[in-house]
Amino acid sequence: MKFTCERDVIMKEISIASEIISSRNALSILSNVLIQAEENELTLRATDLKVGFETTIPVEVQEPGHTTVFCDKFLGILRNLPSGDVEFEQEEGDRFVIRPLFKKIDFRLKSIGSDKYPDVQLAPPDTYFEFSQSELMEMINQTIFAVSDDETRYFMNGVFLENTDGQLVMVATDGRRLSFIHHTSTGSIPEFTGVIVPPKILNLIRKLASGEGSVQLAVAEKNLFVQFDNQRISSALIEGQFPNYRRVIPDEQQYRVLVRRDELLEALKRVSLLVEKSRRVYLTVSSEGLILKSEESDIGQATEEISCEYDGPDTTLALNFTYLMDPLRVIETDEITLNFTESNKAITIHPEPTADYFHIVMPMQLD
């Protein structure tokens, strides 16, 4: 095998492959990236047996062939080469040669034959459906931060994906907050049982997708398959029963606070400077405005008042400030509403005007 490729082009793809490969043991083939050159096209493949990644890039192929090399070292070499065309060659035996065409540099990296390298799983072509890249990225952005990191509740360690009346729905919760979004596809979405998608593949989609055009999705019993541009990704799903999230979505809430999103976010950043372990901030709403307050007995307290629109009794809410800041960072409207009925019940955050998503936060105890 022998081919020539611009360093920056191949390095971009190898850096993505390195994020998928979890092992750093050079003796394991799973620590390697598969390299296959044929017909002026280079295929790169990486997997940790749960997430698989495959991409193709145009190259100048002098001799077709395939091999695998230790991804971590391969990426390190590429990062330290100057930009420009690089020649890659698989010599007889187990040496993969890397040499820039414009410098007297020669790396010989140990390789392992590709015959035992795992294939990237593919779904049958007729099971894929088309969905907007930009809308899929929005759905991921609006939910992924609410995924639980408690491994004892593994069924919350991913984003729930389902088809509800022809709409694609994503939901994430950690038991104290919940994020919900749905979108309608221009085409039909096949029926499938709701599945729990690991964050790793969702973060990979966010990193790789251009946000333009469409993406092909296929949902199987135990795997999710994604194709877009020149990328193919697959992931094992999280097995388990996702909580019945619809039970915690309020049917109606009596009070509504309208506030500018950026003003609330900046005020939270300042007030939370004096919050430590409790992460608790107090929001007191009245017809005169919204007062944010933090208080840590060993440190001090911070108070800030911002304007709002509110018609209801004076009420104080205690919230984990990160649970409020996370949605504010991804909501794109200039204004948001905080909706509630009682200070000890769920608070719903909506963009204003309302859109296809919302966020629910459970309040903390008022001391």
Residues 153-188 have pLDDT tens digits of: 999 999 999 999 999 999 999 999 999 999 988 788
Nearest one of 120, 87, 136, 86 to 17, comparing CA atoms? 120
Contacts of 266 (CB under 8 A, 6+ apart): none
Exposure on the CB side of residue 325, measured as CA atoms within 13 A = 14
Q: Which residues pair with residue 224 across a beta bridge?
A: 219, 235
Distance from C-alpha of 94 to C-alpha of 32, rounded to nearest angstrom: 13
Whether 26 has a pLDDT exceeding 60, the answer reads no
Whether 344 has a pLDDT exceeding 60, the answer reads yes
CATH of domain 2-116: 3.10.150.10
Which element (helix H / strand E) includes 14? helix 7-20
Which residues of the chain does CATH 3.10.150.10 include? Answer: 2-116, 125-247, 250-361
Contacts of 234 (CB under 8 A, 6+ apart): 51, 52, 120, 121, 122, 123, 201, 223, 224, 225, 226
143 Rama sector, left if φ>0, alpha if ψ -120 to 50, beta otherwise: alpha
Question: Percent of the chain having pLDDT more than 90?
Answer: 81
Which two three-digit tokens encode residue 278?
């409790």
Distance from C-alpha of 344 to C-alpha of 349, rounded to nearest angstrom: 15
Burial 78-100 (b: 16+ CB within 10 A, else e): beebeeeebebbbeeeeebebeb
Q: In angstroms, how far is CA 263 from the centroid of its own chain?
A: 27
CATH architecture, domain defined by 125-247: Roll (3.10)
Distance from C-alpha of 65 to C-alpha of 55, rounded to nearest angstrom: 16
Average confidence (pLDDT) over 351-356: 95
Which element (helix H / strand E) includes 178? strand 177-184
CATH architecture, domain defined by 250-361: Roll (3.10)
If pLDDT is split at 50, 70 and 90, which confidence band does 24 have? Answer: low
* pLDDT at residue 23 in the model: 58
